[in-house]
């Protein structure tokens, strides 16, 4: 009897050891945002100078750039989604929040996709809901549905009269009929799918925004036509939505 008990004890120890060895580790992920203009690195030190040329041939500067990402999502190979319920305002102007490390930990392993939402999904785009965003005046007027900007990019371009002129490329939820009951022709937040990733230890995903793409694909943006007061312009918002699809890419993981 003692001998059998001993054998059982040894087996149970072996199995428990085996179980410990296979335990999946929880780690943190970090999203690191960098910015380029068609391959040329862009930071706030490049701001305030007309040095970029868009697909339509207009020379332009950037003076302010900040944008919101939310709901970082990892999809397992089994099809389950891990949604990190958090958001981050990337502020290139002030060089803040370019690194986003959600407090939620993730299990190591391979995931069929890493994605995030550009802006807020409608159900999270709640007017006045986020004190930090209210405090930095990132809101959208209630007459346009309220909630928050997805992106503010401001600068100047050389117009057809060869004069510097301001532009405000502000992405929000497209709205028509501004007022007490605006209508929404289509969603203009969008999911950025960065493809399959492997999480091994604390992992940093280096994500790049090609700013030039906002003016390029599939719609060639004409700054002489679309430059200011774009928030109440639902057609412009839909073009921003379309062009935004090719803006982000995952450059590396480490």
Partner 1 sequence: MKNWVLYICYFFIFICFSCSNETIDNYSPTPSPLEIPQLFQEKILAPVIPIDNPQTVEGIALGKKLFFDPILSANQTQACADCHAPENAFTDNDRFSDGINGILGIRNSMPLFNLAWNYDEKFFWDGKSFSLEQQAFLPVVDINEMGDTWQNVEQKLQNHSEYPELFNQAFGTSQIDSILVTKAIAQFERTLISANSKFDKFLLGEASLTPEEQNGFNVFMDENRGDCFHCHGSENNPLWTDNLFHNNGLDSEFSDLGLGAITGDPADNGKFKSPSLRNLAFTAPYMHDGRFSILEDVINHYSEGLQNSPTIDPLMKKVAQGGVQLTEKDKADLKAFLSTLSDLDFIKTFKN
Which residues would be at the binding site for partner 1 (CB under 8 A)?
47-49, 63-64, 127-128, 131-132, 134-137, 139, 141-143, 154-156, 163-168, 178, 228-232
Q: What number of CA atoms fall less than 13 Å from residue 131's CA on the CB side?
A: 0
Alpha-carbon span 148 to 122, nearest angstrom: 10
Our CB check for partner 1 shows the closer of 8 and 136 to be: 136
Our CB check for partner 1 shows the closer of 49 and 81 to be: 49
Q: Are strands 203-210 and 29-37 parallel, antiparallel or unpaired?
A: parallel
Our CB check for partner 1 shows the closer of 72 and 175 to be: 175
Residue 166, both tokens? 């301001």
| Cβ 223 to partner 1 shortest distance, Å | 11
Direct distance between the N- and C-terminal alpha carbons of the chain, in angstroms, rounded to an integer: 54
Our CB check for partner 1 shows the closer of 104 and 168 to be: 168
Burial (CB count <10 Å: 0-12, 13-18, 19+), residue 124: middle
Cα torsion at 64, 68, 74, 80 (round to 10°)?
A: -160
Reference 167, options 215, 125, 229, 213; nearest CA is: 229
| Cβ 87 to partner 1 shortest distance, Å | 15
Residue 129, both tokens? 């809901």
Our CB check for partner 1 shows the closer of 32 and 53 to be: 53
């Amino acid at each position: 009897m003692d001998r059998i008990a001993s054998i059982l004890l040894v087996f149970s120890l072996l199995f428990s050891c085996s179980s410990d060895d296979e335990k999946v580790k929880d780690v943190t992920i970090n999203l690191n945002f960098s910015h380029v203009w068609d391959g040329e690195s862009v930071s706030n030190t490049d701001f305030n100078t007309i040095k970029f040329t868009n697909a339509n041939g207009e020379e332009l500067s950037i003076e302010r750039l900040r944008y919101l990402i939310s709901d970082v999502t990892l999809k397992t190979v089994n099809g389950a989604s891990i949604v990190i319920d958090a958001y981050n305002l990337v502020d290139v102007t002030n060089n803040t929040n370019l690194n986003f490390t959600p407090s939620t930990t993730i299990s190591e392993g391979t995931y069929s996709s890493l994605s995030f939402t550009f802006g807020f999904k409608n159900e999270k785009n709640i007017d006045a809901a986020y004190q930090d965003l209210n405090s930095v005046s990132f809101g959208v007027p209630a007459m346009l549905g309220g909630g928050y900007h997805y992106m503010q990019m401001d600068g100047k371009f050389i117009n057809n009269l060869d004069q510097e002129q301001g532009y405000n490329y502000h992405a929000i939820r497209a709205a028509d009929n501004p007022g007490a009951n605006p209508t929404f022709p289509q969603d203009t937040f969008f999911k950025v799918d960065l493809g399959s990733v492997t999480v091994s230890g604390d992992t940093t995903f280096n994500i790049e925004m090609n700013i030039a793409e906002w003016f390029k694909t599939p719609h060639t943006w004409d700054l002489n036509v679309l430059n200011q007061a774009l928030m109440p312009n639902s057609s412009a918002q839909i073009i921003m939505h379309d062009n935004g699809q090719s803006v982000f890419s995952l450059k590396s993981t480490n």
